[in-house]
Amino acid sequence: MAIDRYIAICHPLRYATILTNGRLAKLGLMGLIRAVSYTLPMPLLLSKLPFCANHMIPNTYCEYMSVAKISCGDITVNKVYGLVAVILVIGCDMMVIGLSYTLILMAVLQISSKKAHHKALNTCIAHICVILVSYSSCLFSNLMHRYGQGMSPPIHIIMSNVYFIIPPTLNPVIYGLKTKELREKVGKHICKR
């Protein structure tokens, strides 16, 4: 989305010639390769672990570190891989998104029209809010699985589910608040109380 926003704001007249079907297919293939290269080592590393009597995952979903923790073997490699992979994925994403929005901001500041400034920044701010909600909850969930051993199991389960509940719930709200009618209705509803 960051690349799409960059091209739509910085090169709107050349949008269709820059984002051709071939380029979109290449971007999709890059995304698929990235997802497979991030995800494939996880089951391979888990398959090498010995599992004893406990086969019950103390979580509501089958998460990589939850499965590794029920192993009776050494999971140091799994912990290191999980942490490095998350940092690399989030780090690479943040670099590309940061570069994209830096270029967008530079392009928007060169526009003379205040209305165009507002429209471009309004679109970007909503996208940045969605990114921050998604990535911060992902990072929080991953770090909690690795370093939250002192937490009670129910709290751990509730907090790890935040990653799956909060971003999809807030996405329509964040994008919906861009519309004037919805902002007015939400403002009236909040002011009543």
**Tens digit of pLDDT for each residue in 97-151?**
888 888 888 887 787 777 777 777 777 788 888 888 888 887 777 777 667 777 7
Residue 125 to residue 123: CA distance in whole angstroms: 6
**Spatial CB neighbours of 151, under 8 Å, sequence gap ≥ 6:** 144, 159
**Spatial CB neighbours of 91, under 8 Å, sequence gap ≥ 6:** none
Residue 177 to residue 50: CA distance in whole angstroms: 50
**What distance, in Å, lies between the first and last C-alpha atoms of the chain?**
37
**Tens digit of pLDDT for each residue in 37-93?**
989 999 999 999 998 877 778 777 777 888 888 888 898 998 888 888 888 888 888
Residue 29 has a pLDDT of 95
pLDDT band at 193 (very low <50, low <70, confident <90, very high): low
